[in-house]
Structure 1
Amino acid sequence: RDGMDGGDRARARQHVFLLPEYFKDASKKMKSGLMFVKLVNPCSGEGTIYLFNMCLQQLFEIKVFKEKHHSWFINQSVQSGGLLHFATPIDPLFLLLHYLRKADKEGKFQPLDQVVVDDMFPNCILLLKLPELEKLLQHVTEEKNPEIDKKKYYKYSKEKTIKWLEKKVNQIVAALKTNNVNVSARVQATAFFSGDQASSDKEEDYICYAHGLVSDYIPRELSDDLCKYLKLPEPSASLPNPPSKKVKLSDEPVEAKEDYTKFNRKDWKTEKNGQGERNDQVALCW
């Protein structure tokens, strides 16, 4: 950005983000309060862009609202595409599971700083700065605390993890019911039921739908194990893909095809260029 002249800045691609209101104070409390980071996607294993709140030590995933033929008017420019990015909180334990399961192949207890190591995504060390980390790890690991040193040693526990994921499913089911979300039609449109096979158990519909949401954050193998543990029906391979939704809120993560980290700034307030016109790289919607 610093090497751009006024015209280049005006033509630079801009993005619109919808963030929690309390983010406004992040840059005031820390110089680098908000930071885009490339981390491993716990489902696909690919690089995905996340937003890290350095001040509050929270991790957020980026979801995208998509509709055709939409544009944004930002200051004095028009940004084609009309994408709206949402920053939503994500449980960091889903990302830690990727490293715990990988380290479990060695079959031994290890300190966390030796488990969460990644040459491709070195920012993974930010996960170790999150609050109540040891409390979170109790849900998915066995741990040892040898007397010879003060370090704790961890080992992935599949049994604990499945039970933790079951709790996640139950929490989603409760939230769906509280908000009166009808999921029967959505479940039948996916691979769980054919068009002429109506679900006789509405509770199962909720569990199937919640399992599908949780599966977006875990690898396929773990999703299949959870499916068996919940005693859900096997997906039907003969069913066609469900029709596209009218509202395009993408279930896909924001892959690391574009360098969002260039938007990391010491100050997220708006700036003025040399001609006195406001020109933001990122338009924040509060």
Structure 2
Amino acid sequence: MKSGLMFVKLANPCSGEGAIYLINMCLPQLFEIKVFKEKNHSWFINESVQSGGLLHFATPVDPLFLLLHYLIKADKEGKFQPLDQVVMDDMFPDCILLLKLPELEKLLRHVTEEKEVDKKKYYKYSKEKTLKWLEKKVNQTVAALKTSKVNVSARVQSTAFFSGGQVSSDKDEDYVCYAHGLISDYIPKQLSDDLSKYLKLPEPPASVRNPPSKKAKLSDEPVNAKEDYTKFNSKDFKTVKVRVRVLVAYS
């Protein structure tokens, strides 16, 4: 703790399950822990060769994604509440550290309505504001993907958005679909579906919407309490850089 760095277990904003994060209390700033793994891989460190392909790295993440988990949950009560009564979790008590992150009130304006009574602020989740904010995130992701020259067309057309002879003729739409998928890793499924409709993305075919079984995603998962690391495929490494660039943007 002398360095100000602290590993904490927080609720993953997509699944709600426990995941490991890193907080720098000196800045302060929030990081998610990712792992790059490739078989038969070594690293050159100084003048030596280290075997093993694992590379752990911490990437900055917008804390608003994690706060959304609690704001949406509290919205079921249908009333304005002080933030310290919203961000509470017996399973993940370290969630209160999120309240110490900088410019928190400025961030909350993107996803909440607020009231002030006797100099104390109260907040309530706003779905309308949140969708507008997420649309901005998607647009930032699209710009980052294009800047990094990530080819997304083949990936998008092999997923739920296109099947058989259906081919996307609009490359920009491919980027939006792919960006939506990246952002969806940081929000609940229902909100992801709402965002898809808000962006007017094409609906997946019925055969894909309700598949008989779904394979577990092997890459780009959060480090959770049951795992020592997440699994990255090497082809996803450039996409990771894009994700970092977008998720660190507090806007």
Question: What's the TM-score once normalised by structure 1's chain length?
Answer: 0.71
1:24 aligns with: none
Correspondence for 1:156: 125
Alignment match, 1:118: 89
Indicate the SS of the match to 1:231. Answer: coil
The secondary structure found in structure 1 opposite 2:97 is helix
**Structure 1 segment 151-230 matched on structure 2, within 5 A:** 151-230=120-199
Match of 1:82 in 2: 53
Distance 2:51 2:73 in 1: 41
Do structure 1's residue 103 and structure 2's residue 82 form an aligned pair? no
User: Is the counterpart of residue 145 in structure 1 residue 116 in structure 2?
Assistant: yes
What is the letter of the counterpart of residue 191 of structure 1? A
Unaligned ranges ≥5, structure 2: 230-251
1:150 positional shift: 1.8
2:8 to 25, 37, 45: 37
- In the alignment, the residues of structure 2 paired with residue 215 and residue 60 of structure 1 have an alpha-carbon distance, to the nearest angstrom, of 18
How far does the alpha carbon of each residue in 1:169-211 deviate from its partner, in whole angstroms, 9 at most, with x for none? 0111111122222211111121111153220111110100000
CA contact (8 A) 1:61 1:90 kept: yes
- 1:207 maps to a residue whose letter is V
What is aligned with 1:20?
A: none
Structure-1 separation of matches of 2:16 and 2:77: 19
- CA distance 1:200–1:144, shift in 2 (3 Å): same
More helix by share: 2
1:91 corresponds in structure 2 to 62
Counterpart-to-counterpart distance in 1, 2:228 and 2:221: 17
Question: Is this contact kept in 2: 1:36–1:49, CA < 8 A?
Answer: yes
The worse-fitting range, judged by mean Cα deviation, of 173-182 and 136-145 is: 173-182
Q: Distance in 1 between matches of 2:215 and 2:195?
A: 26
Match of 2:235 in 1: none
- Contact 1:191–1:237 (CA<8 Å) still a contact in 2? no
CA distances 1:60-91 after superposition (whole Å, capped 9, x unpaired): 111111223457799xxx99863211211111
Is 1:57–2:28 an aligned residue pair?
yes
What TM-score results when the alignment is normalised by the length of structure 2?
0.81
Cross-structure match for 1:22: none
Higher-Rg member (1/2)? 1
Q: Give the Cα separation in 1 of the matches to 2:203 and 2:215.
A: 21
Aligned equivalents of 1:70, 1:123: Cα separation in 2:
36
- Contact in 2 for aligned 1:66/1:84 (Cα 8 Å): yes
Contact map agreement 1:38 1:48 (CA 8 A) in 2: yes
From the superposition, tell whether residues 100 and 190 of structure 1 become closer, same or farther in structure 2 (CA, over 3 Å): same
Q: Return the alpha-carbon distance in structure 2 between the equivalents of residues 184 and 48 of structure 1.
A: 31
Mapped partners of 1:180, 1:71: distance in 2: 27
Which moves more between the two structures, 190-199 or 107-116?
A: 190-199
* Greater RCO (CA < 8 Å, at least 6 residues apart): 1
Letter in 1 for 2:181: G
Which string of whole-angstrom CA distances, capped at 9 and with x for unpartnered residues, describes residues 78-130 of structure 1? 99863211211111000000000111111110000110000000000110000
Letter aligned with residue 192 of structure 2? S
AA partner of residue 254 (structure 1): V
In 1: Cα distance, 2:164 partner to 2:135 partner: 28
SS of the residue aligned with 1:152?
strand
Q: How many residues align?
A: 223
Match of 2:18 among 31, 35, 47: 47
The Cα offsets for residues 227-250 of structure 1, whole Å up to 9 and x where unpaired, read as 0010101123535899999xx8x3
Alignment of 1:259-274 (within 5 A): none
